[in-house]
Structure 1
């Protein structure tokens, strides 16, 4: 079975010109078939403020009303996505920028209203692995922004970490898939105040212990939940750390296994 790498980059990398340039060079040099997934929440908040659109957050998650969805579509699907695609082309990567609506590649359900109405937010329902595979076999490198659709004409803002994991799960029917979650830290830290306290290997047993000890909290919780869900559903390898983990010489990052 052929191998496929799914790489997700966080907003701090997108906003840091040097970090983004270094990442794109590492991504371009990465051998084999690959898919890039990005968000752009910080850029969207900045552009929204310029346009007079208020950004509402609940527990770190964006409320996506009609105006916010317009900004997200412009920023994620336009400004951020096309800049990344153009820069990858300059690095001899034949990238193609996509939302989940393109080629019906990722369909979602609008999140039901519970305690909070998150608006036009999608929970991934299906990845069209055949359509994505056609692009890969044609020599293209898909670059997905964090937008999906409901199949009825509605775009939906969708968590980029979840998109990365669900793409990897969907493509695991065809490829041996690996996920690389790239962010500003070297990996999952045992002590948030000590950047050198990287936990190099986390399995389900250690994960439960880290939860009990209060070491895994806040934004790292949904990331690791996505990781174990993806591993349960066929993804082979998951790595978390800064962009240097894409280099063969670097081994200072966190590996997630069952």
Structure 2
């Protein structure tokens, strides 16, 4: 089995939690891929450069100045720091964006009610070069960036990149897609970190939606999870970053989605 693991921005922003996560990720046996979010670092650096961050419905508006900032920060600073820290933990990582080896071509999101700017919607995933890296013993580490094939970088949701990579690799491997963040899993009660729902299938998901148990923040992860499963991924797990070793074993600690 191969593990496609996405680590959230709140983990990236927490140095102690990130250090523990990377040490544990490096210890995960076998083939694995890491996809990281951006955290608040791009916002902080943009502020220093006088570039204001704008959001609509929680999504960043990526104008011409902002795509330069996120490309530098996500594809450069954050990505290479993660790679260097993984190397220090004995994991032979290689940092990538979707433009590298043309692995994740995308299209600029069409303007409808909102113009998200240089936001990318994934067209396809070229799994062959990714498989070659994995078979060579390398651990790919993806920044949340894609490209349009015409020279333009695009800002793309990291959860979606993780789901798309997992789906593409399911043609070659059994895949477990894991979303690691600061909660222990999908919760019955957002105010109780121990109220973990251990298993969710489509029927349970519909019941949770009807009962309005789920918070808005977890819904995109669940939609990406079911999209991956319906496209060939064996299973998806949502759990705490500290539990990544458990969640790459047979004894899972978070929410398993089938």
Report SS of the residue matched to 1:194: coil
The separation in 2 between residues aligned to 1:112 and 1:8, in whole angstroms, is 26
The Cα offsets for residues 216-238 of structure 1, whole Å up to 9 and x where unpaired, read as 23121111100000000000011
Q: Is the aligned partner of 1:121 residue 2:122?
A: no
State the partner residue of 1:239.
237
The separation in 2 between residues aligned to 1:227 and 1:205, in whole angstroms, is 14
The Cα offsets for residues 58-106 of structure 1, whole Å up to 9 and x where unpaired, read as 0000000011101100110011000000011111111000000000011
State the partner residue of 1:204.
202
Q: Map 1:1-258; keep pairs closer than 5 Å.
A: 3-248=1-246, 251-257=252-258
1:211–1:217 CA contact under 8 A, matched in 2: no
The separation in 1 between residues aligned to 2:152 and 2:109, in whole angstroms, is 13
Report SS of the residue matched to 1:219: helix
- Compute the displacement of 1:215 (Å): 1.4
The Cα offsets for residues 225-256 of structure 1, whole Å up to 9 and x where unpaired, read as 00000000000011001023322386331001
Instruction: Report the CA distance shift for 1:21/1:41 in structure 2 as closer, same or farther (over 3 A).
Output: closer
- Compute the displacement of 1:154 (Å): 0.9
- Compute the displacement of 1:41 (Å): 3.6
Q: Structure 2: which 5+ runs fail to align? A: none
The separation in 1 between residues aligned to 2:199 and 2:56, in whole angstroms, is 31
2:17–2:242 CA contact under 8 A, matched in 1: no
Report SS of the residue matched to 2:124: strand
The separation in 1 between residues aligned to 2:197 and 2:129, in whole angstroms, is 37
1:55–1:62 CA contact under 8 A, matched in 2: yes
1:198–1:252 CA contact under 8 A, matched in 2: no
Report SS of the residue matched to 2:216: coil
The separation in 2 between residues aligned to 1:119 and 1:217, in whole angstroms, is 27
Aligned residues: 255
Segment of structure 1 superposing worse, 95-104 or 248-257: 248-257
The separation in 1 between residues aligned to 2:46 and 2:212, in whole angstroms, is 35
The TM-score normalised by the length of structure 2 is 0.96
The TM-score normalised by the length of structure 1 is 0.96
